[in-house]
Chains A and B, each alone.
Chain A
Amino acid sequence: MSDDLETLREQTVQALAAATDLREWDAVRVGTLGKSGRLTALLKELGRMTPDERRTRGGALNRLRDELSRLIEARGQELETAALNARLAAERVDVTLPCAPDAQGLLHPITRTIEEMAAIFGSMGFQLAEGPDIESDWHNFSALNTPAHHPARTDQDTFYLPAEASGQPERVLRTQTSGVQIRTMLGQEPPIRIIAPGRTYRADHDATHSPMFHQCEGLVIEKGITLGHLKGCLSDFLRAFFQMPDLPVRFRASYFPFTEPSMEIDIGWSRRTGQIGTGGDWLEVLGAGMVHPRVLANCGLDAREWQGFAFGMGIERLTMLRHGIPDLRSFYESDVRWLRHYGTSPLSPAMLHEGL
């Protein structure tokens, strides 16, 4: 390589090393390889040379151009990386700062329990039925074999609303969701498998009673349904709900006007610790029975042809047992601290295949 080319190379290398930012680097690049760059100028001179000179000089110039291009490119990348690193360093933030919180919305435990009941009974072929909170006396009592003078009526402290028209009996806030049974039997032909969760009302207010609470009623009317099915269905439900395949379940004879035979159903628990499933004590959780022939007749079903069973359970009660919630009143107080504690995520609905 001739001296002038060597000088150019040397000076360019130095200039590149001296360039501290991309602007300076670009000046070197343009000064060397640009239109009026020094190397470009030397290349232009080639045209005026003899073929021999051109061959020799041209080869050297091309090699120099390739080398300088490579060096310039490499230095450019180096500076670019340095510039990026400098920018990123300047952009550094305290990543431990909190992010803007998403408010966590949750479903009420009563909603959750109703969903679980729907999932479990749904798997047994039940459908979810609904009815009005304000019922006629007939739907809430008379159709259910509970005439006005019946002693069972004094056990239920009923809220009354004015009659729809004078001379008619006063309307009631339903004391049980059994009215939905009646509506279902009147509204469709058997076979019937329904559950009816909903609000119910009784004039009672203390630590263990609320004037409004929720019940889930169930009704099965089919040919060939016996008390054995009642026991199987409700044992299956309770064991699924409490997720205990061996949950002790006891059936005790009892009385309700709308079923016969009637029974109350206890589960095993420990009175001392509140733990479900063990402990040797019994806790009542359900009332049930075979649908009374008179109730069937009141709804136009012939007891010689159809029979079945009905049951009712307190949704708050089962929820309290399931989750160890101590106070009934807290369900209705809308205290955000309580709701956040016992609420469930809307993203994990009750689904049997995911587990309840």
Chain B
Amino acid sequence: MKAQRMLSNRRQAILQTLSMGAFALPGISALADAPSSSGRMVLVFLRGAYDGLSMLVPHGDERYSQIRPNIGIPKPDGTQKTALALDATFGLHPACAALLPLWQQGVLAAIPCAGSPDPSRSHFDAQYHWETGKPGSSSPSAGWLNVLSGMVGNGVGLHALGVGESSPRILSGPRPVQLVGNGLSATRAGTLAESKTREAVLQLYAGNEKMASAMLEGATNRMSTAAMLKTPSMASSNEQQAANNGAGSPQGLALDAKHLGTLMQQNRQLRLGFLSSGGWDTHINQGNVTGLLANNLSNLSNTLIQLRAAFNEPNDVVIVASEFGRTCAENGTRGTDHGRGNVMWLLGNRVQGGKWHGRWDGLAQNQLNEGRDLPVHHDFRGVFAQALAASLGLTKASLADVFPGSRWDDSLDGIFKA
């Protein structure tokens, strides 16, 4: 594949696309045109390394409560003050009770020890690897969702949507993608919805084609997004603008998920969705059954319920992941530090749900990476590849275009139904 410049000249790219002048990258195979290619994939990326062992609680391991005396979730006893048993090995954090029916329906699955082959414990580097799909490489690269969006529909039109973050790296690159703001800002069309105002600003930019066309395109996009999001179901829900720092608070995530669902429902060309939230880097006082992390997990659960409602067609899949995991033992400040392997979640009708998949060796110190972290048994690219094959019909051959240098993980061949 040709090397790509880190261009995000979206205006030009979109205008190009609109005039049907889109270029095709040589050598990129189109996705298989089979019935299985009709689905949509949504990635929920938790920035900051969420504590997967608090969401998928390894209650069956006797070492768990020893190494997490203050932040551990108690063994299941049938109440909501303890882990909700999924099987003899794992339970769900009680704040994620809303997800239990999905597990029981067989549409929700977990992979406990997934992650990056690169050992970096830097959020910055690890997120970069995850978003470019090239662990270990720091050279300029397009986001893999951007590359993938070009493989859908033979490189014509907009096929990927990000809601919330203004410029996520995973979506950046030469292909035009749709980006919608966070929270309630997405529902407001702005001052340029007034034609009088647009006219006046056009005069301000007279002779400046770049500014004038950008303004008009932006105004048009916002008006149509706002119109799509002003459906009765949106108006009746009780969302509040995330008032705290950060473009992606866990509370705001559920609202962004709702917007994502609505927009992707209204525009079936959009096959790839991206959401993200921060606030997961719980080094201090992460809490246990209640507390900071529990609140975030509750918001995440609400988000997944939203997404399940919008993405429940046969080949839709929602994936939850973080750039790495956290230490198995708690630290001196009732939190956890950076680790390696982490739990990835898969949600969809094709998912072999109601079970966890892949390798799990327990929490004995000699089974952990450097005696402290969950090991990475499954390269995250292998997990994504399985999902992309199931939902979008990605062939193994085209895997190399999205994740160059990665290999198919056939130990995960059972995570999706045929």
The answer to whether A and B interact is no
